[in-house]
Chain A
Amino acid sequence: MQNTSIQFKKQVTIKLADTRLQDALSRLQSRFVEGRSAVISEIHDLQETRTAAAAIRDRVINNLEHWLVHFEQQATARGAIVHWAETGADVNRIVAGIAAQHGVKTAAKSKSMVSEECGLNDALELAGVKVMETDLGEYILQLAHEAPSHIVAPVVHKNKEEISDLFAEKHHLSRKTGIAELCREAREVLRPAFLNADMGISGANFLVAETGSALIVTNEGNGRLVTTLPRVHVAITGIEKVVPTLEDVTTLLRLLPRSATGQSITNYVSVLTGKKNAEDHDGPVHFHIILLDNGRSSLVGSEMQEMLRCIRCGACMNHCPVYQNIGGHAYGWVYPGPMGSILTPLLGGIEKSPDLPNASTFCGACAAVCPVKIPLPDLLRKLREKQLQRGMKSWQETFPLKVWAWLALHPSIYAMATRIGVRLMRMMGGKEKLLHTLPGASGWTEGRDFPAPSGKTFRELYKRGEGQ
């Protein structure tokens, strides 16, 4: 997927004015934020479990080579073929190669954000493979030629009426208006795609090193269908997704669906190990697992390494006041919200996403809900520091800070400047004692007035003993 995060500010203006999007986003807040809060308390000791989950992720990331090699050995021993890809383009080339090798004409795909990184669907179409997205949300987006705007609920930006119109136009059937009817129509249209597909493509939420398994959590059952019916299954995921044991993955599974959708468990958890046995009636004859780097290895051992813990639950975006107001598309790449504001610059280049590290109020809600305790605001701050070091900050931001720093180092001038400043502001505030506009802060005063200072600075008051 093309990274358009350079246009962040322009997109924000458009998204804030989009009333349909604003309605959709308020729904997301009530369902996902309240949903999480209702079930997260089922975990007896949440903080202890989050600490354990973070430790499980760190155990692997701190020894990534060993765990990856162990996973590869186990998966290979069970008949899976493990591929390594440095870039998204490499993934596309590998999948197209597998398709050619097995004479694949059609592929049914379940939701995979890693495949979105690669732009896999377009690449496969070019290679002559017809790809059908089967996750309801992703299917709607494929029909509408749009990108996902949320990593868990990809079509959160669209309402029911838009989907009714889209189905009526694309399916050439009578226009359905109920959500259940729309779901049934999609089921009936998509069932043949599962049955006829030569290849199933999925992501993997986790890779279990102990057993060489790919683990997938789904609710719709499409994940099970694409990994059970087609004769070829390709699972694509990031190199950081390894988890040591079945017990370790179970601890993460207590947190993932609760944090993501407010479910105590997803409808299906599939642990897929190796290819079909000779005497089995179902399962893929060929099972390929593709491990994508795409910049992840450069985070290993760096001050940003904690980001590799991420299990893609989406809780940080659901709770983010910035995401809640602008939605996912404004972020310009696959991953929105706080985790995206960190991953997009790290994986795609900090120069291409100058606004994303600054798209945070640092309120800390993301870090408070993160199931694997990623210090998201700290990582955003580190990115801002990198921007400053590389001279990427505008003079409008750096100049006033330089002035302030100079003043702070010259206390007597500072005192004089503030004395003049507060008196000036008191005069401007007039009888109302309110400032309706402030030079350079019109954005702030657009929505509220600034109370005028009462006349004396803190230091003046302190000197007279009034401050005690």
Chain B
Amino acid sequence: MNAREKILSKIRSVQTKSSAPAISFHLAQHPRGPLPPVPPDLIACFKERAIKLSSDVLETNNRVDVPTLLARYLHEKNLPVSGVCWPSLAGLPWSAAGLDMQSRPAKNSDLIGVTGAFCAIAETGTLMMLSGPDTPATTSLLPETHVAVLDPRHIVATMEDAWDLLRKEHRQPPRAVNFISGPSRTADIEQTVTLGAHGPYRVLLILAPL
């Protein structure tokens, strides 16, 4: 008997009742648990909670203004002006704003990574990212600054709503679903929160309609 069979038969010896129909039913229904109340203004709620988790937030009504907003932010913080972006954002007028954004996955030496997001969650101020050929996971991970351009209409109330959206638009989850809530951090030394552990030091969210 192999390890799998040994472990399962040990469990089987004390749990004899078969509940296959109940399991299929639960999987098909995937019922929600108790939900927290989320204020009706999802955009305001998202912004407030994202800022609470140390993300920076900027807004514009015109997507074409995103590079200018980013350029101003980078200058204010004395940060480099070159980096990488997802291919879906390559068409924005980066160079007109004095930025050099290459459309490719991030390497270790890249300091700015600009991404979109599948959606965002108001309850916690969280981005939901799906991995894929055009949405490389490294862009939000390796650079010291992560910039996410988000359509405010893609903000949902809860993580449950985000799962429903995922089920509607994709048959199954991609290789990696990453929920991001602010810059990476550690409190391992003396339980003192320090921003910028192994991931980005800062996360800038730019709300701009598609």
A and B associate in one complex: yes
Closest chain A CB from B122 CB (angstroms):
12
Complex alpha-carbon distance, A205 and B194, angstroms? 23
B198 touches which one: A28, A134, A213, A301 (CB < 8 A)? A134
Q: Is B83 an interface residue (CB 8 A)?
A: no
CB atoms of B178 and A32 under 8 A apart: no
Closest chain A CB from B25 CB (angstroms):
11
Which residues of chain A come closer than 8 Å to B172, judged between CB atoms? 78, 211, 273
Closest chain A CB from B129 CB (angstroms):
10
CB atoms of B23 and A247 under 8 A apart: no
Closest chain B CB from A1 CB (angstroms):
20
Given contacts A84-B4, A85-B3, A265-B124, contact A224 B178 (CB under 8 A): yes
Complex alpha-carbon distance, A195 and B6, angstroms? 38
CB atoms of B198 and A297 under 8 A apart: no
CB atoms of B34 and A224 under 8 A apart: no
Which residues of chain A come closer than 8 Å to B15, judged between CB atoms? 62-65, 300-301
Closest chain B CB from A175 CB (angstroms):
14
Contact pattern, B 150-178, Cβ under 8 Å of A = 1, otherwise 0: 00000000111001000000001111111
Complex alpha-carbon distance, A279 and B174, angstroms? 12
Interface of B is mostly: loop
Name which of B4, B6, B20 has the most chain A CB atoms within 10 A of its CB: B4
Name which of A140, A267, A276 has the most chain B CB atoms within 10 A of its CB: A267
Q: Is A360 an interface residue (CB 8 A)?
A: no
Complex alpha-carbon distance, A29 and B61, angstroms? 46
Q: Is B145 an interface residue (CB 8 A)?
A: no
Closest chain A CB from B96 CB (angstroms):
27
A194 touches which one: B31, B186, B198 (CB < 8 A)? B198
Interface residues of B in 100-137 (CB under 8 A from A): 105, 108, 124, 126, 131-133, 136-137
CB atoms of A267 and B196 under 8 A apart: no
CB atoms of B188 and A136 under 8 A apart: yes
CB atoms of A222 and B136 under 8 A apart: no
Complex alpha-carbon distance, A225 and B32, angstroms? 31
CB atoms of B32 and A247 under 8 A apart: yes
CB atoms of B186 and A281 under 8 A apart: no
Given contacts A86-B6, A182-B189, A211-B173, contact A221 B198 (CB under 8 A): yes
Given contacts A268-B178, A276-B175, contact A301 B14 (CB under 8 A): yes
CB atoms of B194 and A180 under 8 A apart: yes
Closest chain B CB from A31 CB (angstroms):
4
Closest chain A CB from B16 CB (angstroms):
10
Contact pattern, B 182-210, Cβ under 8 Å of A = 1, otherwise 0: 11111111111010111110000000000
Given contacts A27-B190, A187-B196, contact A264 B178 (CB under 8 A): no
Closest chain A CB from B164 CB (angstroms):
9
Name which of A24, A62, A220 has the most chain B CB atoms within 10 A of its CB: A220
Complex alpha-carbon distance, A78 and B31, angstroms? 24
CB atoms of A66 and B18 under 8 A apart: yes
Q: Which residue of A lies closest to B189 (CB)?
A: A179
CB atoms of A136 and B186 under 8 A apart: yes
CB atoms of A271 and B183 under 8 A apart: no
Q: Is A135 an interface residue (CB 8 A)?
A: yes
CB atoms of B175 and A265 under 8 A apart: no
Q: Which residue of B lies closest to A138 (CB)?
A: B188
Q: Is B2 an interface residue (CB 8 A)?
A: yes
CB atoms of B36 and A277 under 8 A apart: no
Q: Which residue of B lies closest to A159 (CB)?
A: B190
CB atoms of B174 and A273 under 8 A apart: yes
CB atoms of A65 and B8 under 8 A apart: yes
CB atoms of B3 and A84 under 8 A apart: yes
Interface residues of A in 34-60 (CB under 8 A from B): 42-45, 48-49, 52-53, 56, 59
Q: Is B40 an interface residue (CB 8 A)?
A: no
Closest chain B CB from A305 CB (angstroms):
9
Contact pattern, A 263-283, Cβ under 8 Å of B = 1, otherwise 0: 011111111111111011111
Closest chain A CB from B148 CB (angstroms):
14
Q: Is B91 an interface residue (CB 8 A)?
A: no
Q: Which residue of B lies closest to A48 (CB)?
A: B34
Which residues of chain B come closer than 8 Å to A250, judged between CB atoms? 32-33, 158-160, 163
Which residues of chain A come closer than 8 Å to B189, judged between CB atoms? 136, 140, 155, 160, 163, 179, 182-183
The stretch that binds B, out of A238-246, A368-376, A380-388, is A238-246
Name which of B159, B178, B190 has the most chain A CB atoms within 10 A of its CB: B190
CB atoms of A228 and B105 under 8 A apart: no
Complex alpha-carbon distance, A350 and B126, angstroms? 44
**Contact residues of B with A, CB < 8 Å?**
2-4, 6-8, 10-12, 14-15, 18-20, 22-23, 26-27, 30-37, 49, 53, 105, 108, 124, 126, 131-133, 136-138, 141, 158-160, 163, 172-192, 194, 196-200
Q: List 5 A-B contacts (CB under 8 A).
A: A31-B191, A137-B186, A244-B26, A281-B133, A282-B138
Beyond A187-B198, A228-B141, A267-B183, 14 additional pairs, beta carbon < 8 A: A45-B34, A56-B33, A70-B23, A180-B194, A219-B187, A220-B198, A244-B23, A267-B184, A268-B178, A270-B179, A274-B175, A277-B132, A300-B14, A302-B14
